[in-house]
Amino acid sequence: MDIARPDLARKRRFRHGLYTVSGLVVVALITVGVSRLEPAAPRVDADTVFIDTVQRGPMVREVRGTGSLVPETIRWIPAVTDGTVEQIVIRPGATIEPGTVILELSNPVLEQEALEAQLNLDAAEARFTTRRVEVERALLEQRSTLASTEAQLLSARLQAEADRELASQGLVSTIQLRQSEAREQEYGTRLELERERLQMATETVDEQLAVEQAEVDRLRTLHELRLQQVDALRVRAGMHGVLQQVPLDEGQRVTTGTNLARVGDPTLLKAELRIAETQARDVQIGQRALVDTRNGVIEGHVTRIDPAVENGTVTVDVALDGELPRGARPDLTVDGTIELERLEDVVFVGRPVFGQEDSVVSLFRLQ
């Protein structure tokens, strides 16, 4: 039979209470100990942070940007007439002279118009020649009439003198004498009129030919224009340099004003840098700049700042003051640095990637 033992139950309750109190004491001690510990320094991967040393001394404020080299002298060659690309004679990259033919166009309609202009000019010149001959013939006839009138006047004058002599002797009637004198006066008047007519005809030769001459000049100008347009079908460079672009294909149709080719002078290059719009506000003309072409660094200075913002950047032109390194050519990608100002005796540290001007960022000191 079972025998009740109250002392064992009391011991078991005592042990449970003792364990509970001991656990609470241990937890309390751990809590107090942890609360008195100093916080551990944070740990971070060194590859994910920017580490720099605080320095004191002169500091240069500068902005950076990427860009490319472009010729200072660029010439786009436009089409002066409609046409079809027959042949691309020179490809981009070739050295060219002013008279170098880059490509050839064709325009049968223009060639027909040039031929018609030539025929019209020939016809107008023939009409002008005919009209000039007519004017010269009229002058000759007028001179002949003048000479005939002078002869008639001389004959009438001699007759009048003879009749006066005979009339003084009573051998000629008074009526016959007056008739002779009247003829002399008539031919004298006619002679004066013929002289005036000849003078007027001589002085107005150009006016008589003006209409025909104007037509010849008009058609000659039109013919020269057509010839120039036909000659322009052979597209020439127009300057010394390097052919940079020919954005066409053979057989392509072009209209007047279409850009056919781009020519640049590779000996005179400048850098076009794209600076972030938030950093470009302090850039000014004349500031010193350095351009890295990967083969060398060239000194330069800012010459132009684009007033417009495009895709979040501002285009800045930098004139190159130094000698171009080997391999420098148009459209070469470059990196540029523009010096904004130079500060003396300041405390500075490298700017974090996310740091912006006039902003506050948190930094950690490395121990």
273, 322: one domain: yes
Quick: pLDDT tens for 195-229.
Answer: 888 888 777 777 878 888 899 999 999 999 999 99
Domain with 334 in it: 46-72+268-348
Is-contact 90 107, C-beta < 8 A? Answer: no
In a domain, 362, yes or no: no
- Alpha helices (H) in 94-173, listed in sequence order: 108-168
Quick: pLDDT tens for 163-182.
Answer: 787 777 777 777 887 888 78
116, 143: one domain: yes
247, 303: one domain: no
190, 136: one domain: yes
In a domain, 53, yes or no: yes
Of 123 and 15, which is predicted with more confidence? 123
Report d(CA 94, CA 264) in Å as an integer.
Answer: 11
pLDDT for res 101: 94
| Confidence category of residue 1, pLDDT binned at 50, 70, 90 | very low
In a domain, 33, yes or no: no
In a domain, 173, yes or no: yes
In a domain, 307, yes or no: yes
Domain with residue 312: its CATH number is: 2.40.30.170
In a domain, 8, yes or no: no
162, 216: one domain: yes
Query: Sign of the C-alpha dihedral, residues 314, 320, 326, 331?
Result: positive
In a domain, 31, yes or no: no
